A = this chain, B = another copy of it.
Amino acid sequence: MILNRLRLIRRAASAPGCSLCISLSKQLYCSSARRTRVRDALSSLETGSSIRIQGWVRSVRSQKNNLFLHVSDGSSLQPLQVVASSDLNTRELTFGCAVDIIGSLEKSPSKKQSVELQASHVKVIGECNPVDFPFKIKERHSLEYIRQYPHLRCRTNAFSSLLRIRSEATSAIHSYFRDNGFVQIHTPIITSNDCEGAGELFQVEVKNPHFFSVPSYLTVSGQLHLEVMAGAFPAVYTFGPTFRAENSQSRRHLAEFYMVEAEISFTESLEDLLKLMEDLLKTSTEHLLSHCAEDVELFHKYVSPGHRWGCDLQTEHEKFLVKHCGDVPVFVTDYPYDLKPFYARDNQDQPQHTAAAVDLLVPIVGELCGGSLREERPELLKTRLAGAGLEETYAWYLQLREFGSVPHGGFGMGFERYLQCVLGVDNIKDTIPFARSSRSCLL
């Protein structure tokens, strides 16, 4: 029924000329030779077949009779070796240029690769002046150096690996939650909640200051919105951008970063949350290792080989705890009640008086996750809100407990810190496509 609706009609548009076909036979480029991705070519068993590859040149080596190119299209870290007659060499064939190549995929005589492309046509479709291009052939630039070029750093091996890993990790996290029956909720970015006390806020302004009629901010956490949903679903999560306007040049803080947040209803104890965090981390990391082995290896071998567990980056206490436990991730639970926000569940364990909260500390980054059971008992919540003078602001939140309240809890995980931890990346700015931090908002 709906699929009928999707019968798409096309206005007859005048077919524009294919610029690629001007200098080469139309038949060759547009009909017979299907475009193949480098990743597929590398794993292809159909040697002898004619294929067409498009990508960027990673290296050029010219011998007497033969020209050797390494061509990458971003589908994999490993490039495809292209062999052509040296007649096909031109001035434009430089490191970084874009090429369109037709040839025959053959078994490679070298042990470095299983296949290579014996090219009959090599065409430069986008030139790249090697003098002006900030990355140089055969040089291994530092992450710090390439960070100066946010519009170009994806063209380096290291950062293109990072982006593939980040994409795969994102996918692994979504799959984990979906496979476990969580409903994904897009919690809002702009919010009128301001007093979780989680840090300095960004305010949202428009020319018309009364646009929203209330002061509005960029979210610091989707937790309270997820708690709304915990009153209607067994398990929900969100995975999106969150913000802190903190004036910090730290290697583990960003002004805009991604958080994975989950909330489960009908929890019995904090143990449910610990299990969920542990399972999420293990499942996602296993997925990442099996799907991005080559890219992850690049980081472990070349980009951050000096990074080992327990290195000197954390605050003293976190460092002590992680070290004390043998340089492995460690859960810390049951924090003093007064140190935790109004929503944390009272353990009612006088005289200690703790809240059912948990942090997960890991080597390299320190705090990776933080969570708690939430106070589901209306009377206790009401008293706490009143004590903090927040009764009116959070009247809506209290109502969640007055209508069919259930025991629930959740946690948040910093996604970039997760990547730092798994890859051993020193500076969090190197884990996100476009980093925003104090005094930096390029592009």
Binding site for B on A (CB under 8 A): 2-11, 13-16, 18-20, 30, 35, 37, 39, 54-57, 73-75, 96-98, 100, 125-129, 132-133, 150-152, 154-155, 160, 163-164, 166-167, 170-171, 174, 178, 181, 183-193, 200-208, 210-214, 216, 218, 224-225, 228-229, 231-234, 240-241, 243, 245, 247, 255-256, 258, 265-266, 268-270, 274, 278, 281-282, 285-286, 289, 309, 325-326, 328-334, 347, 349, 356, 360, 362-363, 376, 396-397, 399-407, 422, 432-434, 436, 438-443
> B183 near A433 (CB under 8 angstroms)?
no
State the Cβ distance, A174 to closest chain B Cβ, in Å: 6
Q: Are A184 and B170 in contact (CB under 8 A)?
A: yes
CB nearest neighbor in B for A96: B404
Identical chains bound together, number: 2
Contact A206–B330 (Cβ < 8 Å): no
The answer for the CA separation of A185 and B438 in the assembled complex, in Å, is 22
Give the chain B neighbours of A55 by CB distance below 8 A. 234
Contact present for A192 and B241 (CB under 8 Å): no
Tell me the bound Cα distance from A237 to B356 in angstroms.
40
CB distance from A36 to the nearest CB of B (A): 10
Q: A202-B205, A232-B154, A233-B74 are in contact. Are A98 and B405 (CB under 8 A)?
A: yes
In the complex, what distance in Å separates the CA atom of A105 from the CA atom of B38?
54
A285 touches B404 (CB 8 A): no
Could you tell me the distance in whole angstroms from the C-beta of A417 to the nearest C-beta in chain B? 14
> What residues of chain B lie closer than 8 Å to A100, measured between beta carbons?
266
Assuming the A-B contacts A155-B231, A170-B184, A258-B186, are A404 and B14 also in contact, with contact meaning beta carbons closer than 8 angstroms in the complex?
no
On whether the beta carbons of A228 and B151 are closer than 8 Å, the reply is yes
Pairs A–B under 8 Å by Cβ, sample size 16: A6-B285, A6-B328, A10-B333, A11-B332, A16-B356, A54-B266, A75-B233, A126-B406, A132-B402, A163-B232, A206-B245, A211-B439, A212-B255, A213-B441, A214-B441, A396-B443
